[in-house]
Amino acid sequence: MSKQQIRQILQEHGKFPAGVDALADDADLYAAGMTSHASVNVMLALEDAFELEFPDRMLKRSVFESINAIHAAIAELTA
């Protein structure tokens, strides 16, 4: 699991107005333009790509707010 894979998913499903290439790993994805509905698509795409399911306790803004946060959440679920 790499941050580049996460970036690819965000690029395809996050609907960022300016794309994700210029986003730092700790950039706020919501501030960068990810809408609530886009975050649903991102979540489902991550679950599909990494064959996992985010439990309800992880359905929080802080889990999906940055590439680093998503990476850490996936690492926790796949440990």
Partner 1 sequence: MAGALRCGRRWGDSLRVGTDLVQIAEVAAAVARWGDAYLRRVFAADELAACRRAADWDIASLAARFAAKEAVMKLLRPDAASALAWTDIVVQRERSGAPAIRLSGLALPLARRAGLGPVAVSLSHDGDYACATAIANCRSLTTYPENEKGKK
Residue from 4, 17, 18, 56 in contact with partner 1 (CB under 8 A): 56
Is residue 40 a contact point for partner 1 (CB under 8 A)? yes
Is residue 60 a contact point for partner 1 (CB under 8 A)? yes
Is residue 3 a contact point for partner 1 (CB under 8 A)? no
Please classify residue 39 by burial: count the beta carbons closer than 10 Å to its beta carbon, then call 0-12 exposed, 13-18 middle and 19+ buried. buried
Is residue 57 a contact point for partner 1 (CB under 8 A)? yes
Dihedral, CA of residue 18, residue 21, residue 27 and residue 29, to nearest 10: 50
Is residue 47 a contact point for partner 1 (CB under 8 A)? yes
